[in-house]
């Protein structure tokens, strides 16, 4: 039975991935405060704070191998750069980069033992193209893309692949935080005139997990409905 680690398992995308992978797999999930809808082993952990690597390692001390790390936590941060508090910048850095690297360092030996280990990071269209009023969020997502491409090269001699998925505007809580008029504007801007369903991201995750995707590494899969801003 495969064993998947899902960080950010209670968001709209994370919950869809958890629900879509739980049958026939062992799921170890992480979230800050909300319990997951789906069954599995769950840990509450604030990924927006600096993590102690030994503490994280202790959470995995009972397992010898893992087949995938799926990283999909996210937190909105709107506003002008000069009005953004450093605390908010630190939280974005921790969620997108520091905590991610901590998990990779802990899980890499276990992923190597899998024989077809996968690291899948859900980034964002904003990491590809930048975003006014979301410059910090976009910058951290862009950093994730560089990490994906770099680690794909670094791990190429192993069986561990590293890929990203860059969704556009996804249905769910983060989009609902936008004012109605901004949501309406986005729908007019989107070539398909629709928001992406979280299950569409799940479909991409399933593809990257498949044995037939062993040679796919260092890629960022765009799921944006043709919205190349």
12-26 tens-digit pLDDT: 999 999 999 999 899
> 229: pLDDT confidence band, cut at 50, 70 and 90?
low
For this structure, is 137 an active site residue?
Answer: yes
pTM for the predicted model, two decimal places? 0.93
Would 113 be classed as within a structural domain?
A: yes
pLDDT confidence tier of residue 223, bands split at 50, 70 and 90: very high
Q: Which of 93, 137, 207, 228 is catalytic?
A: 137
Q: How high is the pLDDT of residue 89?
A: 93
pLDDT of amino acid 170: 85
What whole-number distance in Å separates Cα of residue 169 and Cα of residue 166? 10
What sign has the CA pseudo-torsion 144, 150, 155, 160?
positive
Q: Does residue 80 sit within a domain? A: yes
Residue 117 lies in a domain: yes
Chain segment 39-57, per-residue pLDDT in tens = 899 999 999 999 999 999 9
Task: State the CATH number of the domain containing residue 99.
Answer: 3.40.50.720
Exposure string for 94-113, b = 16+ CB within 10 A, e = fewer: bbbbbbbebbbebbbebbee
Element (H, E) at 76: none
133: region left, alpha or beta (phi > 0 left; psi from -120 to 50 alpha)? left
Q: Is residue 19 part of a domain?
A: yes
Domain presence at residue 112: yes
In the three-class reduction of DSSP (H, G, I as helix; E, B as strand; rest coil), residue 163 is classed as: strand
Cα 81–chain centre separation: 24
pLDDT, mean of residues 170-180: 76
- Report which of residues 155 and 196 the model is more confident about: 155
What's the pLDDT at 205?
98
Q: What is the dihedral of CA 57, 165, 189, 128, to 10 degrees?
A: 80
pLDDT category of residue 58 using cuts at 50, 70 and 90: very high
Domain annotation covers residue 165? yes
Q: Do the domain assignments include residue 176?
A: no
Q: Whole domain around residue 19: which residue ranges?
A: 3-169+198-222
* 55: in domain: yes
pLDDT value at position 171? 80
Counted domains in the chain: 1
């Amino acid at each position: 039975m495969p064993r998947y680690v899902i960080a950010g398992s209670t968001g709209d995308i994370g919950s869809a991935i958890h629900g879509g992978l739980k049958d026939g797999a062992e799921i170890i999930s992480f979230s800050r405060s909300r319990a997951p809808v789906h069954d599995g082993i769950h840990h509450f952990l604030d990924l927006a704070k600096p993590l102690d690597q030994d503490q994280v390692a202790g959470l995995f001390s009972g397992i010898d191998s893992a087949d995938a790390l799926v990283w999909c936590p996210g937190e909105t941060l709107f506003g002008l750069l000069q009005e953004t508090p450093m605390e908010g910048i630190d939280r974005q850095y921790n969620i997108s980069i520091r905590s991610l690297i901590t998990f990779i360092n802990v899980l890499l030996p276990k992923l190597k033992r899998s024989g077809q280990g996968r690291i899948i990071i859900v980034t964002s269209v904003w990491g590809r193209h930048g975003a006014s009023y979301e410059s910090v969020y976009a910058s951290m997502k862009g950093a994730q893309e560089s990490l994906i491409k770099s680690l794909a090269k670094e791990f190429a001699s192993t069986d561990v692949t590293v890929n990203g998925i860059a969704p556009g505007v996804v249905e769910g809580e983060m989009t609902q935080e936008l004012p109605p008029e901004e949501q309406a504007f986005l729908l007019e801007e989107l070539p398909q005139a629709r928001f992406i369903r979280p299950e569409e991201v799940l479909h991409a995750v399933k593809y990257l997990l498949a044995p037939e995707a062993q040679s796919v590494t260092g890629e960022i899969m765009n799921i944006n409905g043709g919205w190349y801003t």
